[in-house]
Every structure is written in structure tokens, then in C-alpha cells.
């Protein structure tokens, strides 16, 4: 089998993946800031890296997957002005800051569950690692790469760049920018006068009196800077250098760039070997994000309760929508596209279910050698495509090519012995592995079916069958029509059975 290759943002090319410790992988992914509700755009990295996680497990690695929760510091409430930090929001809602954070953390966890994302091995919080962050900042100061100003601490980017460029780690190495180029276009920010250079970034911020979230530090009461938590927590749980660091492309600069600088000063090596970045979800070609006010919250996606939505979309539909494109391409949101995904997923899932119930028979020689070969190839390519920078889109395309074959066998349109037992069982096995274990798809029915419903529907199906046998089409059509009105679709199969699905 081919070897896994991933596109490394650091080197701008696909590279063979080799873990530092054979058999083990350490992966860090930037998690959410829990000052507000997650939106559709947030779903992408968490689903993308869930696939990465699942695929690495499939390859047999033991993976420690760390995904943080940013619940402290300097961040903004969605839809509010810049100065409206978590603290003032808390006052408005008469909530403790941690109460607010808890609320959105719970909501986030709920959404992750809806998507069938496997929880990370460790989910550290920024507030739980204030000490680690302070220790790290002290080390950076001691090494001379940070300075204190009015109770805040800033990272000295110019000095870092000068000293580490010669060691092969210039500031900007990840995002491909050169320090001098960046000076001109940057805008005015608060407290710029405290910084020696515009490019310097905060490691620790002095807390103004009204800021409720504050901790004692060697520099006075304040809160950690925007980037230090990831450096502190990834080092703590994954070591000075680990295998994969993931996140959205918009985090590449400055967030990941700053992480590299901080960690490199402390640990003398680039923190992660492979940097993976997923692209954005767009709306009419524009990134879905705070700044554009075009985001659709996940609760709205699931309920359909948003002006831009023509209907509700099931979490599995969204998951599949994301899988149908390569993670490094933008993905344009649209009702038409989502509906197409919904229909496609339904067709795929039904064929998948059929494939798992199929009797593989016992014939060694395929009657239709060409078809047998085609099926085998389509299945074998699953691994090949995933190994090529996790190309889920191509795997999905192959799965769809297998659908007519599966349905054809079911309908007896394709002879039972056309495909060998070997190939059929390979198909069964690999479909299950990829559909359920790696893609993490699951039946929509599982969400709202407690088992009793199935019994009731089977009863109605039997009644319809009896009516049909008696040519009592009035009764049989009534059962079918009224169930359809409830969103349950009956289908007369070729073999005389009746199956159903939820519309």
C-alpha cells in the first residue's frame, strides 16, 4: 500500500508522513474560542481533523489528539464591538465569565457530538494552564526575546527574526512573509505605543480594572496573550516537537507564526513538523466569518431557522458536504449544493446498507471479469486517494461509482455470480471501514429512532402488502400516501419486498 502523504504548509509541498516516534502520532488542532456559538465555518476544521484523526487510527497509529478550548483572555463577542470583551458581555447577561464560557463550551461539545466527531484525547483549556503560560513567558523574557511595558509583556519579533533567521527559522517562515514587507500596510491598533515594533505581539496583557477575567502574574494582574496558550499546552502534552499541527488557513498568520516563534525560543526547535491547514467555507465566494457578518450558526443549520436557509440540514449532510471537497479547497455554501449533498448521501447510504446485507455467495471465478476488476480497483483506490493528502472527494466519487453496481446486484440486474466472492467481501469490508470508521458517517435514523418506530412501520408495510395482494389499491395507496406525508417513504423493491426511508 502507498504511504501517506500530506501537504505541509511549512514547506509548501506534499511530503511523506513519518512520525517522530514510530507507531505514535501527536497532533494539535486549534479549537474554538468559546465566547459565542460555533457557526458553519467552524465545522470545517473540526470535521477535517476528525477525519485525519480517524485515518491515522486506521493506519494503526496510536494518536494523542489535543484540541484546546480558548476560554480566557482577549477576545470578542460575536456581533459586538471590539471592546466588548467577554467580561462586559458577562456583566450584560449577569453571568460569571466562567458561566458564559461553560455555556458555549457545552453547546460546542453538543455540536461536535452531532457531527459524530470523536472527542480529542486531551481538551485543555487556556484558563487551566495560566501557570504554564506564565512560566513560558518568563523563559522568553529571560532569553531576551520579550520585554515588559506597563504590566504587559510583548514578544520582540525583530530580535527573534534577526537571531533565528540564521538558524533557519525566520519570522514568517510558515506564512511565507518577510518581516519588512509587513510593516507598511498594517493598521493602527490599541496600545501600539507600548510596543517597540508594530509586528510585536502580546504574551501577557495588563488587565484594565473592568476586566473580570484576570490572574496574578509577575507583571501584575492580567491575562495571557492571544497565542501563548497553544504553545504552552502543545508543549506540555505533546512535547517540544510533535508531528502535526492543524487549524484553519486564517490562523496561519499571525497565530501559528507566533506560536512557532514562542515555542522555538523556548524549545529551540520548530514545534510541529507537519502543518496542515484547511480552507474556508464561503458564502457567495466570501469567507464565512465574523468580519463579514455572514455566518450561520450550527444550531441554525440544524433547525433551518435562518433567512439564508431554505430548509434544515442534518449534521450528517453537513459532514458529507465537507467530505465531498478536498480540505484545502474553498467550499461554497448554498442551498442547492446542500440539497444535492442531502440527496446524494441518502442514495449512498442506502446502497451502503444494501451492500452490508448482501450475500457474497461462494464463487471463485467472476462471470464478468471486467466488472469484477473495475469494482476491485475502485475499492483499492480508497486507500490510495486518502494517502494522497487525504483526498476524501475522490474516495466519495469512487463510492458513488460503486452504487449502481450494488443496486444492480440487488435488483438482479447484475447477475449474482458476475463478481467473485473475494471482490464482494472486499467491497463490503472496505465500504464499512471507510463509510463508518474513517468518514464517520452514520444513519440519520439513529438520531430519532428508538426502535419502536421501526416496528410500527413494519406493521404498516405488512398491511400494505396484504392490501396489494388483494389488489385493494385504495388501501395500499392510502398507507403509502399518508406515511409519505409524515416524511416516511415506502419503496416497492424489485424482489417484492417493501423498504422505507426517511425523506
Partner RNA sequence: GGUCCUGUGGCCGAGAGGCUAGGCAGAGCUCUGCAAAAGCUUCCACAGCGGUUCGAAUCCGCUCGGGACCUCCA
Binding region: 30, 230, 255, 259, 290
Residues 471-490 that bind RNA (CB under 7 A): 473, 476-477, 480, 489-490
Taking CB under 7 A as the binding criterion, the range among 13-21, 297-305, 319-327, 453-461 that sits at the site for RNA is 319-327
Instruction: For residue 54, give the nearest of 65, 43, 40, 44 by alpha carbon.
Output: 65
The nearest distance, CB 327 to RNA, in angstroms, is 8
420 is an interface residue for RNA by CB under 7 A: no
Looking at the Cβ atoms of 269 and 491, the one nearer to RNA is 491
Burial of 384 (0-12, 13-18, 19+ CB in 10 A): middle
Strand partners, 8: 13
Q: Which residues contact 485 (CB under 8 A, 6 or more apart)?
A: none
Of 290, 226, 388, 236, the residue nearest 81 (C-alpha): 290
142 interacts with RNA by CB under 7 A: no
What is the closest distance, in whole angstroms, from the C-beta atom of residue 23 to RNA in the complex?
28
Give residues 208-227 in contact with RNA (rule: CB under 7 A). 226
Q: Single out the residue of 156, 175, 152, 154 nearest to residue 164, CA to CA.
A: 156
Judged by CB under 7 A, the residue of 69, 72, 281, 375 near RNA is 281
Q: Which stretch binds RNA (CB under 7 A): 119-127, 266-274, 284-292, 433-441?
A: 284-292
Restricted to residues 114-133, the positions that interact with RNA (CB under 7 A) are none
Cα atoms found within 13 Å of the Cα of residue 487, Cβ hemisphere only = 5
Phi, psi for 65 (deg, rounded to 5): -105, 115
CB of 341 to RNA, least distance (A): 6
To the nearest 10 degrees (0 to 180), the angle between helices 452-469 and 473-485 is: 150
CB 45 within 8 A of CB 278: yes
In this complex, which beta carbon is closest to RNA, that of residue 177 or of residue 432? 177
Q: Which member of 285, 307, 451, 487 binds RNA (CB under 7 A)?
A: 285
Please report, to the nearest 10 degrees, the dihedral formed by the alpha carbons of residues 192, 197, 199, 202 taken in order.
Answer: -60
* Stretch of 130-138, 159-167, 326-334, 433-441 lying at the interface with RNA (CB under 7 A): 326-334
375-414 residues near RNA, rule: CB under 7 A? 391, 393-394, 396-397, 400-401, 403-404, 407-408, 410-411, 413
Q: How many residues bind RNA (CB under 7 A)?
A: 89
Site for RNA in 4-43 (CB under 7 A): 30, 32-33, 41-42
Grid cell of 155 as nine digits: 514578544
Q: Which position among 22, 185, 451, 455 is part of the footprint of RNA (CB under 7 A)?
A: 185
- Take residue 379 and report the three cell numbers written for it: 475499492
Amino acid at each position: 500500500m502507498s504511504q501517506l502523504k500530506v501537504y505541509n504548509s511549512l514547506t509548501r509541498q506534499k511530503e511523506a508522513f513519518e512520525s517522530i516516534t514510530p507507531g505514535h502520532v501527536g497532533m494539535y488542532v486549534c479549537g474554538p474560542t468559546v465566547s459565542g456559538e460555533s457557526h458553519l465555518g467552524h465545522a470545517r476544521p473540526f470535521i477535517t481533523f476528525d477525519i485525519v484523526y480517524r485515518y491515522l487510527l486506521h493506519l494503526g497509529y496510536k494518536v494523542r489528539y489535543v484540541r484546546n478550548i480558548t476560554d480566557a483572555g482577549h477576545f470578542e463577542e460575536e456581533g459586538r464591538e471590539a471592546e466588548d470583551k467577554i467580561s462586559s458581555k458577562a456583566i450584560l447577561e449577569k453571568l460569571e465569565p466562567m458561566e458564559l464560557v461553560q455555556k458555549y463550551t457545552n453547546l460546542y461539545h453538543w455540536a461536535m457530538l452531532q457531527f459524530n466527531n470523536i472527542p480529542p484525547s486531551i481538551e485543555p483549556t487556556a484558563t487551566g494552564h495560566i501557570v504554564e503560560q506564565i512560566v513560558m513567558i518568563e523563559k522568553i523574557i529571560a532569553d531576551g526575546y520579550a520585554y515588559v511595558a506597563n504590566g504587559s509583556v510583548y514578544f520582540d519579533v525583530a530580535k527573534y527574526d534577526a537571531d533565528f533567521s540564521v538558524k533557519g527559522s525566520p519570522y514568517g517562515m510558515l506564512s511565507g512573509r518577510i518581516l519588512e514587507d509587513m510593516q507598511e500596510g498594517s493598521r493602527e491598533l490599541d496600545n501600539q505605543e507600548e510596543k517597540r515594533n508594530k509586528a510585536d505581539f502580546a504574551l501577557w496583557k495588563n488587565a484594565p480594572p473592568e476586566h473580570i477575567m484576570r490572574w496574578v502574574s509577575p507583571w501584575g494582574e492580567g491575562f495571557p496573550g492571544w497565542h501563548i496558550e497553544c504553545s504552552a499546552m502543545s508543549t506540555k502534552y505533546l512535547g517540544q516537537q510533535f508531528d502535526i499541527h492543524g487549524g484553519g488557513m486564517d490562523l496561519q498568520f499571525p497565530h501559528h507564526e507566533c506560536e512557532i516563534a514562542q515555542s522555538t525560543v523556548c524549545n529551540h526547535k520548530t514545534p510541529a513538523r507537519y502543518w496542515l491547514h484547511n480552507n474556508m467555507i464561503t458564502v457567495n465566494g466570501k469567507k464565512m466569518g465574523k468580519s463579514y457578518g455572514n455566518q450561520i450558526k450550527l444550531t441554525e443549520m440544524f433547525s433551518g431557522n435562518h433567512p439564508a436557509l431554505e430548509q434544515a440540514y442534518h449534521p450528517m449532510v453537513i459532514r458529507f458536504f465537507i467530505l465531498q471537497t478536498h480540505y484545502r479547497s474553498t467550499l461554497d455554501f448554498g442551498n442547492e449544493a446542500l440539497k444535492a449533498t442531502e440527496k446524494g448521501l441518502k442514495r449512498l447510504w442506502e446502497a451502503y446498507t444494501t451492500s452490508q446485507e448482501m450475500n457474497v455467495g461462494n464463487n471463485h471465478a467472476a462471470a464478468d471479469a471486467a466488472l469484477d476488476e473495475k469494482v476491485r480497483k475502485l475499492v483499492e483506490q480508497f486507500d490510495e486517494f486518502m494517502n494522497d493528502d487525504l483526498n476524501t472527494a475522490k474516495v466519495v466519487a469512487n463510492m458513488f461509482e460503486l452504487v449502481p453496481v450494488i443496486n444492480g446486484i440487488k435488483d438482479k440486474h447484475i447477475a449474482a455470480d458476475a463478481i467473485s466472492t473475494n471482490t464482494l467481501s472486499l467491497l463490503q469490508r472496505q465500504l464499512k471501514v471507510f463509510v463508518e470508521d474513517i468518514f464517520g458517517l452514520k444513519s440519520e435514523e439513529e438520531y430519532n429512532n428508538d426502535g419502536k418506530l421501526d416496528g410500527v412501520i413494519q406493521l404498516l408495510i405488512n398491511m400494505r402488502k396484504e392490501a396489494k395482494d388483494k389488489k385493494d389499491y385504495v388501501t395500499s395507496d392510502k398507507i403509502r400516501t399518508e406515511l409519505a406525508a409524515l416524511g416516511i417513504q415506502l419503496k416497492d423493491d424489485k424482489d417484492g419486498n417493501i423498504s422505507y426511508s426517511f425523506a
